[in-house]
Amino acid sequence: MLSFFKDYKIFAIVFGVISIVIVALIYNTLNVYQPLPVYQPTMVSTELVDSTLHYKKKYHKIADFSLTNQNGKTITQNDYKDKIYVADFFFTTCPTICPIMTKNMASIQKEILNDDAVMLLSHSVTPEIDSVAQLKRYAIEKGVNDKKWNLVTGDKKQIYELARKSYLAVKDQGDGGPYDMIHTENFMLIDKKRQIRGFYDGTNPEDIQKLLNDIATLKEEYLQ
């Protein structure tokens, strides 16, 4: 009888070890690192993409830019060199989705405040209204940290082309001036190579959490 229990104990131990190994293997298989996609114009709704890019399937990157932030400082792509950043398009007098988007961008700012690898960039779609002084007032009101988050204004043609040809983020109004645009609620996640790695609904808390998770995933990519 004692021999039986002894043999059973050994069997139980061996079975337990094998079970742990199997569970660990299954867990690792299901949690294999999956890189984020690299978005190309053909992967995005055509209404958000300039017609010249409708058939572009690879090598899409954010173009060089030179805009002015809430402090009157010139901001270029060099200020975001080797950074991951979240971009969006807004205007300070927007009464609908912009306040929600700005609030959610502020929540992202809070999460990445001490992370030197991540920054934020918000482009005004009404630069004729959003002067430096106006952006500064808005930045103070919304709690913008100048070291992490630039609100930029500038030449409307350049902002339009960035929105339509780089970030693939706004609709062409069509019935106004040549550079009139209707911004969307989209937040874009941009990697260190200036590639788009994700689109998110800037008014949706669940998408904001997904964005934060994807930032962590993107950071992991640079450790591979």
| In contact, 197 and 217? CB cutoff 8 Å | no
What 3-state class would DSSP assign to 150?
Answer: strand
Distance CA 155, CA 151 (A): 14
H-helix segments, the chain: 2-30, 98-112, 132-142, 156-161, 205-221
What 3-state class would DSSP assign to 163?
Answer: helix
Q: Can you name the residues that pair with 151 across neighbouring β-strands? A: 122
Cα dihedral across residues 44, 46, 49, 55: positive or negative: positive
Can you say which residues are annotated as belonging to the binding site for Cu cation?
94, 98, 183
| In contact, 80 and 87? CB cutoff 8 Å | no
Can you say which residues are annotated as belonging to the binding site?
94, 98, 183
